Amino acid sequence: MSSTTRIAYSVDIARKPEAVWQVFTHWQYLLGDQVFRDFRWLEGEPWQAGSRMEVDMVMPFPFSIQRVITAVEAPHKVTWINHAQGITAVQWTTFEERPEGTHVQTWAEYTAQSFPVLQRSLEEIIHEMIRHSLDSLKRACEAGA
């Protein structure tokens, strides 16, 4: 049986949206951390609607995500659709300027067949991946990446 689930997470980063976007769109801050292995553009211009990329994952087990960028308003928001392992997820990320920096929020809605993965729920795994991504972005930005 399929169901749709929504997951959200946000961080505040002490940098302007343009600087956060620059780090966000270059991915290096995520590589080598035992969650993400690689990011490759497969088709189209990077960060343009309709462009396609592949994301190789390490966690929770090795697999690839096929990603299609559906909307971009740099440096304020991006939306994409992920397909992997029988899961389809739409993910939105926004970069809201605030006096103290940038509020980055992401939320995803996914549809999947219900199945246990490595003794954890799919919701827990996706939430962990999103949390890890934004926490890593915050660390990289605030370290001056």
Percent of the chain predicted with pLDDT > 70: 90
Q: Report pLDDT digits (tens) over 20-58.
A: 999 999 987 777 677 788 999 999 999 999 999 999 988
Q: Which of the pair, 7 or 61, is modelled with greater confidence?
A: 7
In this predicted structure, what is the pLDDT of residue 119?
64
Q: What mean pLDDT is reported for the chain?
A: 88
Look up residue 50 and give its two tokens.
Answer: 């309709």
25-61 burial, b at 16+ Cβ within 10 Å, e below that, comes to eeeebbeeeebbbebeeeeeeeeeeebebebebebbe
DSSP letter assigned to residue 117:
B
Question: Hey, what domains does the chain have and what are their CATH numbers?
Answer: 2-142 (3.30.530.20)
Q: Report pLDDT digits (tens) over 56-86.
A: 988 778 889 999 999 999 999 999 999 988 8
Residue 81 pairs with which residues in a beta bridge? 68, 90
